[in-house]
Every structure is written in structure tokens, then in C-alpha cells.
Structure 1
Amino acid sequence: MEKIKFRLFIFFLWLGACTPTFAQNRNSIWVFGDSSMVDFGNAGSPVTGVSGMDGRGSCVSIADTSGSLLFMHLRGQQFHGNSGLIYNKQHQLMVNGDDILGQGWYNEMVVLPFSR
């Protein structure tokens, strides 16, 4: 009986390792502060594009579970003082998106999805 359980375990382990896996696509779009972006939504061929963010500093973006861009944030002290800029998915500055305070460090921002 133990031998059958072991073989079933190995079979399901092999089956899980050989089938493709799919993530939630929340990080499938990368936006950079130098007006560039990369969309990893297509598994074999990433697509490059242009973003509305122009500046140096930390950038963060998040997509929904289907891989569509929700918003992005740029933080660059040399251009925006002590605030950052939040852009919508059309690469336009959001309402009240220029009053987010923070420090001028790299990698200081994190966007977490709100789950109910």
C-alpha cells in the first residue's frame, strides 16, 4: 500500500512540474521613469512601449489579475520636490496624484493589491 501511495505522489509531482503554470499577472507590466515600459503579458514575446513618466527615481506599477495596467507612481526628488506623481492607465496624471509625500530614495515604494 505504501508503494502505491509513493507512486501516486511521484506521478502527481511529475504532472505538476510538467504542466505550465500561470500567475496572476499583477507584475506583468513594468514601467520605468525614463518614459519606457515593458509588457510581459505575452509569455514568449515581451512588448516594449512608451509611458507618460519622465524623470529619475523610483517607479512602481501594478496591473489587475488579467494583466491590464491600473496605475503607476514615479518618485523623483530632483523634479518633484518631496512628492511623487501617480499616473492612470492612460499615462495621465491622476486627480490629486501630485501630493504623495515620501523620501528621495530608490526602491522605497511598494504597491500592494487590496483583497476583500
Structure 2
Amino acid sequence: MLRGRETEPAQVARLLDTATVAEALDLARDTGQSHRIEQLGTIIARIAAIEGDAEGCRDRAHTGLLHLTLGRYEQALRDLAAVTVVFAAPDLIEAAVRAAEAYTRFTAWARAAGHGPARSRCAAVAC
């Protein structure tokens, strides 16, 4: 039981994953690892966006992913187009494809990002 209700195993696993990241974030803060604090905060914000938690989103990359998760593709495209971080490239490509934007507009940009997993996800979404 969690918060007075039964949960599915996947829900429990997701909560444990989030708790693990939160614990790692606490440890990074306690030991002064500023680069880890930023990375772990980003992971927590991405989890929040994927789960539809607007309050947990930290910046436009996360709100863009939130809109993508909620099926608001045009808004996701606007938010993600303003972001220049490589990890948001696949989200941008997915938003563009789902918003019926021309995939070719982003092909060169995704290739220039030079991030293998991002390119793979971009190619998979376009299929």
C-alpha cells in the first residue's frame, strides 16, 4: 500500500526509481558535487514531465516534454525549438513529427548534435 491505496508493480518501481534519484541528489548536495546536483535535478524534472507533473518541470525542455507527453504537440514544438541542449533533440524531433512539421527541417540539426542515442530516437520516430 502506498498513500492508503494499492499500487501496481510498475507504479511502485517508478516511485522507487524516483526515490533513488532523490536520494542520490541528497547525497550530491551533502558532498558538494554541483555537477551531479544539476544532472540529477534534470532527471527528476524529466520524470515529472513524463508523468504529467507540471509542478516538477524546471525549464522549457521539461515543459516541452510535458506537453509532448500530454499530446499538446504544437506547444511542445514551440517550447522545444527554443532549447539548445542535446538531450532535448529527440523530444523536439518527436514533437515536430507529431505536429505534422516537415521532418527534413530537423534532420541536419539532429545529425549535427552528434549524439548517437538522440539520432537513433529521431530516426525511429520519423519511421
- TM-score past 0.5 threshold: no
Tell me the TM-score normalized by structure 2: 0.22
Q: Which has the higher helix share?
A: 2
User: Higher relative contact order by CA 8 Å / sep ≥ 6: 1 or 2?
Assistant: 1
Q: Which has the larger radius of gyration?
A: 1
Q: Which has the higher strand share?
A: 1
Tell me the TM-score normalized by structure 1: 0.23
